[in-house]
Amino acid sequence: MERKGMVTRFALVSLVVLAILGVVLPSGARSLVVQIMIFSIFAMGYDICLGYTNQCSLGHSMFFGAGAYGAILSVMSFKLGLIPALGVALLVGFLFSFLLGLICVRLSEAYFVIVTAIISAVFHLLAMDMTWLTGGDDGLSATIPPISQRISQLSLYNPYVNYYFVFFFLLMSYLVLTRMIGAPLGRIFISIRENPRRAHFLGYNVTRYKLVAFVLSGIFGALSGALYAMTLRYASADYFSFYWSVLPIVWCLIGGTGTLAGCWLGVALMSLFQYYVSAWFTHYLLLFGILILIILKVSRRGMLGYLTGRGTR
């Protein structure tokens, strides 16, 4: 399919560009691109949920925060190395998304949206309250150990190492998710999105596949939360707030749902706006809100959807 080919080409070109930017960019812009890459992982995972199985969750901040704290607490309290800490974060993300998924995935559309929001709000509340564990909204800051105990130079405190460490995970996430979507699993997701009843009649356990998609998106949300905490060397209860649940949806819809890489555009656009426009216009969100409306008006499928489909459905 021509469209799919264009999306893949876009993704590969972006990855090559990102690989080069790491050495070429000045340090300020480099830090921004690291953040864009981290959020892109989050957005890709969320696209599995929203774009591929049509589950509009408002609770993904829970996984983002859980991943962040899983990593930071592993480093601070359990004195784990960096890679094991990420492993813990992924495990925590898996557990949270599995449990939340069990409760929510079977709910019908509108209820799913609200219940995920409510449960996520509970966790935000708990995180704010349990300061002994989370530091509340003041948060916890930690010293990050080097990637390998033997090579101490390979530490995230080196901006290049930090950049390529995150890039590595973006690359891996993209490859893993593309593989999954290309496999029969992906096609089942899409058929569930297009017509759940028909998928059901074809013999697929729709709820189970929706759960799989949900858990996948939760794992990648946790991964991005962990990378975020490691890059900022900081985690706070704020990571559980509603803001982080709304952002992935904005990213995906602006960039293009159901494309995996389209959301990178959404991430980039929002991050660039926040970084640059806020300096000359404090109320940049107002402009961004107008931009959202314009983009959605021009193409319901977001920017990449428009570029690859020329607006045709």
Partner 1 sequence: MNGLIWGLIIALIALGLSLIFGVMGIVNMAHGDLYMVGAVLAFYLFPLLGNFWLALLVVPLIIAVIAAPIERFVLRPYEGHHAVTMIATVGISFILQQAALATYGGIPKKMPDPWEVSFNLFGVSYPGYRFLIAGISIVILAAIWIFLYRTSYGVLIRASIQDQDMAAAMGIDVNKVLVGTFVLGSVLAAIGGVLAAPITQVFYLMGNDVALLAFIVVIIGGLGSLGGTLVAALSLCSLEGVLSAVLNPTQSKAAIFVVMIIILMIRPRGLFGEPEH
Partner 2 sequence: MKKWAGAFIIGLLIMAGAGFSGDALAQAKKTPIKIGVVADKTGGLAAYGYSHEKTIRAAVAKINRDGGISGRQVELYVEDTESKPSVGALKFRKLVETYGVDFVLDSNSSGVAVACAPVAKELKVIYMPSADASELWGDKGNRYVFPACSSVSQETKAAARYAVKNIGKKWVTVVVNYAWGWANEQEFTRFIKQDGGTVLASIRVPLGTSDWLPYLKGKLPKEAEAVYFANFGSDFLSFIRDLYAVRPDVKKLGAVYALSGQDIKKLGPAAEGAYCMTPYPTMLEGLTTKSNKAFRELINVDPEGKEIGTGVRFVLAFNWAMWEAPFELKAAIEKSGWQGKQDTPKLIQALEGMSFKNDVEFPLGDLTIRAEDHLPSVGMYVERIVNGDLKVVSHVPAADVTYPPLVNHSKEGF
Residues that bind partner 1 (CB under 8 A): 50, 54, 56, 103, 107-111, 113-115, 117-119, 121-122, 125-126, 128-129, 242, 246, 249-250, 253-254, 257, 283, 285-286, 288-293, 296-297, 300
At 140 the three-state DSSP class reads strand
Nearest CA to 63 out of 137, 129, 157, 127 is that of: 127
Q: Does 146 bind partner 2 (CB under 8 A)?
A: no
Which residues from 178-217 bind partner 2, rule CB under 8 A? Answer: none
At 135 the three-state DSSP class reads coil
Which residues from 106-145 bind partner 2, rule CB under 8 A? Answer: 128-129, 131, 135-139, 141, 143
Q: Beta strands of the chain (E only): which ranges?
A: 140-141, 234-235
Nearer to partner 1, 143 or 282 (CB): 282
* Pair 65, 244: CB distance under 8 Å: yes
Q: Does 26 bind partner 2 (CB under 8 A)?
A: yes
Distance between CA atoms of 71 and 156, rounded to whole angstroms?
14
Q: Which residues contact 128 (CB under 8 A, 6 or more apart)?
A: 134, 136, 137, 237, 240
**Which among partner 2, partner 1, none contacts residue 164 (Cβ within 5 to 8 A by kind)?**
none
> Per DSSP, what are the bridge partners of residue 309?
none
Nearer to partner 1, 29 or 114 (CB): 114
Nearer to partner 1, 204 or 242 (CB): 242
Selected from 233, 250, 292, 306, the binder of partner 2 by CB under 8 A is: 233
Nearer to partner 2, 156 or 216 (CB): 156
Residue ranges of alpha helices (H) inside 233-309 are 243-255, 262-272, 278-280, 284-298, 302-309
Distance between CA atoms of 143 and 145, rounded to whole angstroms?
6
Q: In the bound complex, what is the minimum distance in angstroms from residue 290's beta carbon to partner 2?
A: 17
Which residues lie near partner 2 (CB under 8 A)? 26-32, 35, 128-129, 131, 135-139, 141, 143, 157, 228, 232-234, 236, 238-239, 243, 274-275, 278-279, 282-283, 285
